[in-house]
A and B are shown apart, each in its own frame.
Chain A
Amino acid sequence: MRLRQRGAALILFATILVMGFAWYMVGALGKAPVANSEREVKTALALQEAKRALLSYIVQYAARPDTAQPGQIPCPESLTLSQPGETHSCSATSIVVGRFPWKTLGVDPVYDGEGEPLWLMTRGFRDPPINFATAAGLTVTTGGVATPVVAIIIAPGRPRNTASLAGTLTGCTKQNQMVDGRNQATLVPANFIECGVTTGSITSPGNADWTNDRVIAITAAEWADAIAPAIADRLQRQVAPAMYDFYNTTSLASWGQRFFPNASTFSTPASNSLCGVVDTFSGMPPTATVASGTCSTNWDSISVSGLGGLLSPGACFLDATGIVCDFSMLLPGVATPQINITAPRVGYAYRYVDTSQITLQVTSPVPLLPSTATVNVLPGTVSSITGRGTFRFQITFPLLAALQEVRVRIPFATDALAADARSAWYVTNSWDRFTYYGISQAASHDAAGTQCTPGGNLTNCLTVSGLPASTPPGDKRLVLVLMGRALPGKTWGANLDDYLDPIDPLAPVPADNSTAGDNQYTASTVTATFNDRIAVCPFKLQNHAGTDVTLCN
C-alpha cells in the first residue's frame, strides 16, 4: 500500500499550483494598473499633441485668402455636446471654456492619462482687430511667473471632490465633480476643471489639494511667431497685388496717372497717422481711413461746364458723405454737363472714385428715387507738387422737360484697400501698423524724372536681396516689410530698428532693413535675431515645370 503513495498527488498538486500561478501572472500582466507616472506622461504627450494641432490650425486658417481675421483662435466645442469635436460660435470677449475641438482641427480625439477628453479655454481673438498687439486675455502662472497666453489646453484628470476643503483658493471652485451624468446633456466646466474657469488665470501645477488639472498654453509670442509666415504670405499674394492694381489701374482711372501713394513718415506705428507725406517714399503705409482732418481727401471744390444752354447750375454743398449739386432744366432736352471736382492729398492715399456710387435724382416737380448716373470719366490729374487730385467726368441726364430739377451726388473718394476683398482684412485688423512701406519715387505721383521700369530702365527702382532666383532683385517698385514681433532684448519704441532688423551677419543673406531711405532691403530666413518678412512687386516664383508664376507685377 505504501508503494501506491509515492508522491504522485504531490506532483499533481505542484503542477496545478505552478499552472495556477502562471495563469494568474499572465492575467495580472494584462490588467496591470497603469502607474501614475505613466498617466502623467500620457497626459503631457496629449497636451503637446493638442497644442501642435491647435497652432497648426491657426496658421492654416490664417493663411486662407478668405479668412477675414487671420490669427483667429477657434472656439471650443459647445457645452451642449451637440457637435462633438467641432468648434462652436463663442463670445468675442468673454472667457470661453469647452472641450477641445479635435474634429475641426483635423485630429483624432485627444484624451489625457485618465481617459478624459481635453478642454480648451480661450478669450478674445475673435473680432477685429487681431494683430501682434492684440492683448492675450488669459494667464498661466508657473514658478511664480505669470505669462499672458492666448489659449489654454486643459487635461482635467480624474473627477475630484473639493467641496469639503477648508478655506478658499482664488479662482478655484469648491465642487464635487463625482456626480452622475456629468458627461450627459449640458456639460458643466466646474465638474471637470477645478480652477480658472471664471478668472482665466491658472497656476501650473496648481495646489494639489484643490486641483489635479494639467495645462499647456499658447503664449502670445508663440501665437505671433506662428501666424507671421501666414500674414507675410497674404501680404505677398493679396495686399501687394491689391496695391499694384491701384497703381496700375485704379489710380489711372480716377486720377489720370499711375502712382503708388507716398508713405507716411515713420514714427511709433501704434500712433502713426498713416497719412502719406510729400517727398516721402518709405515709412508707414498711407492707409488712414479717416474722412476728415489732416488725412482728408474729401472734395473741396467743384466746377461745372458744358451746360449748353439747357441747364441752370444751382448750389453745390458738402454733406457727410459727398458733394451734392442741384441743376434746373431751362429747356427740354438731354443735358450732358462736365463736372470737375478736386480733392486734396490724393497723391498720398489709396483713394479712388467709385463711379457706380454717383447718383442722379429728379427732385422736382415730382421727386423720384435716385439712380446710378450715366458717367463718362475723363482723364483726371494729380499735382506733382501738392498731390491734389482732380476727377473729371461727363454726366448724361435723361430726357427732361423744362423746369425739371435734378440733383447729382458724388460721394467722397473710396478707400481702395478697404474696398478690395484681397486687402480688406489688412486694414480691418490694422496690420498696416506692423508693415513698413517703401515705393520707388518713379512709381509715385511725383516721379520727377526718375525711372523704374521692370524689364527696362531700373535706375531708381528699389533693390531687395535674398529673393528667389526666379525674381530679379533690382526692379522693385513696391516693398512691404512685415515687422515681426519685437526681438528678445528689444521693445517696440519709436525707433525704426525697434521694428526693422539691423544687420544680422548670421542670417543666410546678411540682412539689414533698418537703414531708412537707402532703397535697399533684404529678404532672409527668419532667425533669432532677424524676423522681417518681405513682400515685393514685381515678384514671381516658378512652379514644378519651371514656369514663372507671377504673384505681383
Chain B
Amino acid sequence: MAEPTTWTQTSAWAGITAVTHAGAGVVARPLDTLVLASVHARKGRGAALKAKVKARFKIDLPPGPKRAAREGVAFVGTGPGAWMAVGEGVEAGWLDALAADLEGLASVTDQTGSYAAMRLEGPAVLDALAKGVFLDLHETAFPVGSAAGVSIAHIGAVVWRRERLVFEVLTFRSYAASFWHWLDESAAEYGLTVAG
C-alpha cells in the first residue's frame, strides 16, 4: 500500500485572471486560501450560538448584513440566522473544530470549494463596482464592515467592505470566468492589475 502524494489544489481563478490592463485603478487579488463554512442556526438556538461564538472567537455575531472579524476569523451575515464563517490563514482542522464547537447550535457546512474569492481594491474600485453592484456603496450607506448578497452581471455574489477602498467578493466557483469577464470589461478603463 503506497501512500500517494497529496493531490494538488487548483485555484478557482487558474487560467482566468491572466489578462490585465495597464494601470492600477483596480487591483484584483485572488484569495485562494480562505476557509469557508456556512453556519445556519438551529431552531431556537440563536442566543446560545451567539454566546458560543462570542466565547470561542470573541466575535459578536452580526444580526444583519455585516461582517464581524477578529484575528483571522470573520462571520459575515448572509440571511436571517445565517452566516458565512471565513477563516483567513487558519490552521488545518479549523473547520472541524468550528463544527464541533457549534454542534447542536448550528448546521455547519464546508463551503471552501464552493466559492471563488477575490479582493478588489484601488482608487477606482468604486467606479468598477458601480458597473455591477446595484447597491449604494457610498460610505454613508455601505460603511466598512457592511456586507450584502448581490447580483453582479447576473452572477450571484456576496460582497463586503473591509476598508474604504477594499472590498472582498465571493462568487460561486463555476462562475469565476464569467465574473472575470465582467471585471475585466468594467475595470479596464481604469487599469486592472492582478496581485499575487
Whether A and B are associated in the same complex: the answer reads: no
